[in-house]
Every structure is written in C-alpha cells, then in structure tokens.
Amino acid sequence: MKTTDSTDQPPSGHDADVLSEDRFIRLSKQIAEEIIAAQARLIALERREDTPARQHETELLWRQIKTLEAKKSECEGEIARLQERIRACRDARDRKTPHQAGLPSAKPGEAPAGRLLDAIRRKTTERALAAPAQLPFWPDAVRGVPNGILRSALFGAIKRGKRRYVEREVFASVQGIDILYTGPRLDQSDLDVWQGALHLARLAPLGNRIEFTEKSFLRLIGRGGEGGVNIGKSDRDWLKNALARLSANTVEIKQGPYAYAGSLVDEYFRDEDSGRYVLVLNPRMKVMFGREGWTQIDWSLREALRGHPLAQWLHGFYSTHACPFPLKVETLHKLCGSATGDQTLTDAERNKAILGWRDGSLIPALDVLVQACLQVGQAFSWEITHGDLVNVSRDPSQSQRKHLQAKPGKPLADGK
C-alpha cells in the first residue's frame, strides 16, 4: 500500500494561518526598516540649508513615509486578523486536550483561559520585538502615548507635594489593561517629561542615546513661558527630579496581547564631555505601540490645560476613545488616581467624599476642558445623568473616524 509522508500533505487551516502570519511579520519588518531609512534621510535633510530643492525632497520623503506606514498598517491588520484565528483555533484545541496544546499546565487554582492569554502575550511580545525597535512616527503637533498609560492611574491627577512610594501596587485601569507599579507616584507633569522623551525617541531606534540640553528639552515640553525665555534654576532642578522619578521605577503592564516590564526611562545622565544630557529608553517599550495601541495627543490642547492636572488626565483618557461610553463618577475617580476618600472609614463617608470630588474637582475640570477645546476649534461636551453616569461627546481624530466608518454602530475605544 502506498504511504504518503506527512510533509506532502497540504497544511491545515491553522498551519496555513501560521505560515501566512510569519510571512506578514517578515514583510512588516522589511517595511519598518524602509521607514527607518526614510526617516534617517529626513533628519539629514533638516540639517541642510533651506532651499526649494530641499523642500521638494522633504515633501517626497514625507509622502514615502506615509505610504510605507499605510502599508505597514495593512500588514499589522492582517497579522492581527490571523492571530485572532490562530488564537481561536488553539483555544478550541486547548479546551479539548490542553496537554497537547504546547502550553504549560495550569497551576492549581489558575483558570485555563488566564494561562492561555499569558502564553499568547509572551508569543506576540516576542514576535513584536523581532522587528526593529522603532516607535511609530507622528507629527510635531502631537505626542504619541500608549493607551494603557492614558487609561489608567499610572500618571495620576494627584496633588503636589511629597510623593508616596509604592511597591508592586495594582493601579486602577480599564478592562483589558493590568498595571503593577513600583516606585514614587507619578503625576501629569511627569507625563509631560515622558511624552517629551518619547517624542525625541521616535526619530531613532529605541535603545539609542537621545541627547539634548536642559533648556531645549524644557522648551519642548512648554516650560519657562513662551519660547522658554523664563527658564531658570528651579525649572532645571524640577526636570532632574522628574527624570530621576521616571528612571527609578518598574512598570509591569499588560495591554491586550502584549506585555512590558521595565522602567519608563532606562537611564539618564549628563555627558561631561559635551555638557548635554543623555536618555535611553528600553527597546522592549515598542510593544506598547502596537496597532491601535497608542494615541496621538494634541499637544497645544494639553499645554492649554497646564495647571489643571485632572483636566489634563481627562483629555488624555477621552482622547483614546473614538466614541466615549458612559462611565460612573466613581469609576473616573478611581482611574485618575485621586486620593479623595482614601482615609474614610465607612461607605457613607466615602460616598460623601466622592460626591464632594465630583462637584469640587470633576465638574470644574470638565468645564475647563470644554473651554480649552473651544479655543482650538474642537467639540467637547459632557453631562452627568441619572445614576451619576458621565456622558462625554467629542470630535474623534481622523484615524478614529475611519474606524467608526469601518465599524458602524459599534462604540470604539481606539487610539491615534
């Protein structure tokens, strides 16, 4: 009887999807390398004298980068679709014969679904890190931030003063995001500094040295008045303290299929030879900037909210939602990291404290955000309905509008 070797058999649906996924990952990596090369040429052009020829070449490079980014986005969409099919197939197989699924056995008391999700996170994170460690490119007028950061209490709307040190504390976040944090509490001004670091880091592979002067960085994040003319010693000392906080921590974050563990700033120091400061960001941070995993924050609007930390937090949080869904006042209170009511002893006292926070902090912050949005020509409105539900309506970004058009009738919480 004629036998057929298993290698001659056509691949199963699952195996075909795995092969296709690997092919698209390789293609995405190739496109990412082309984007990095184009960005490097763009940076080199910016150092040349401003001439019509340079302007023309710059415009061509921008078009090339946008085309490549669109192709990369299509690849990542196809990868996500294939991964969803692969997960569904493996999940079904794991339910039938978990010992054959190639995954570690569940620990006593551990749900199989949780074990499977952790295994998927490890695999998708490893695949994401196989490509060049380059952040997505965004324009100067915005700042790119992972959604998991903006939808949590990591950079809280907290009061000034002495920072509480926490050790592996679970921070409040929306469903699908888990955060454990060790280090000094961080606030919205720390987020300004981290956004500035990411903004500079987007021009080169992660892990490279990011060099700057104190004054140029403070101007970048809007400190010291218009143009940084009022930058003084207190601003420089504040920046050093903020960078120290951002490097003296460990964040363990699970965002969708990806996971990251490390500090927000790997290292920072002053180069004594050049007199410039040097920052280094962890290359693994790239996994937090996966497809639909990050948001472009309108920097002019955030600057207009300076001095209003809760309004800044609300702006960042709602910027990650194409179509915001109603949330309870108490939920927003937890997510923003407010300490109001922490010292109360009874439920009645806590409820009273949260009502006070609603009237004295949340409502004024929402009003400030409405006015700031009006100044830059953006629509933003809110109301608190029965049951203390906060309903927000805002203008989605251009990419968010595309998502809404692609998925009519479905509320989205996508970034960018």
CA dist., res. 339 & res. 49, Å (int): 53
Give the per-residue pLDDT at 372: 96
CB 388 within 8 A of CB 358: yes
Tokens of 205: 């592979």
Percent of the chain with pLDDT over 90: 51
Determine the 3-state secondary structure of 183 from DSSP.
Answer: strand
Give the per-residue pLDDT at 13: 67
Residues 6+ apart with CB under 8 A from 316: 145, 150, 191, 295, 297, 302
pLDDT band at 219 (very low <50, low <70, confident <90, very high): very high
Tokens of 354: 């949260």
pLDDT band at 159 (very low <50, low <70, confident <90, very high): confident
Determine the 3-state secondary structure of 378 from DSSP.
Answer: coil
Instruction: For residue range 107-122, list pLDDT tens digits in order.
Output: 455 555 555 556 555 6
Give the per-residue pLDDT at 3: 41
Q: Which residue has the higher pLDDT, 215 or 124?
A: 215
| pLDDT tops 50 at residue 7 | no
pLDDT band at 408 (very low <50, low <70, confident <90, very high): low
The packing angle between helices 13-46 and 52-96, to 10°, is 160
pLDDT band at 124 (very low <50, low <70, confident <90, very high): low
CA dist., res. 43 & res. 144, Å (int): 19
Give the per-residue pLDDT at 14: 64
Instruction: For residue range 302-358, list pLDDT tens digits in order.
Output: 999 999 999 999 999 999 998 899 999 999 999 999 999 888 889 999 999 999 999
User: Cα dist. 42→57, 66, 72, 251, 257 in Å?
Assistant: 9, 13, 19, 33, 33
Instruction: For residue range 235-285, list pLDDT tens digits in order.
Output: 999 999 999 999 999 999 998 778 899 999 999 998 888 779 999 999 999
Pairing of strands 389-394, 155-156: unpaired
Dihedral of the alpha carbons of 376, 299, 219, 196, in degrees to the nearest 10: 180
CA dist., res. 148 & res. 331, Å (int): 16
pLDDT band at 391 (very low <50, low <70, confident <90, very high): very high
Q: Which long-range contacts (CB under 8 A, 24 or more apart) does 198-201 make?
A: 198/135, 198/143, 198/144, 198/145, 198/281, 199/143, 199/144, 200/279, 201/135, 201/279, 201/281
242: buried, middle or exposed (CB in 10 Å: 19+, 13-18, 0-12)? buried
Give the per-residue pLDDT at 50: 73
Pairing of strands 155-156, 186-187: parallel
Global pTM value: 0.70
CA dist., res. 165 & res. 266, Å (int): 19
Give the per-residue pLDDT at 60: 81
Q: Tell me the domain boundaries of the chain.
A: 8-130, 142-406
Give the per-residue pLDDT at 162: 84
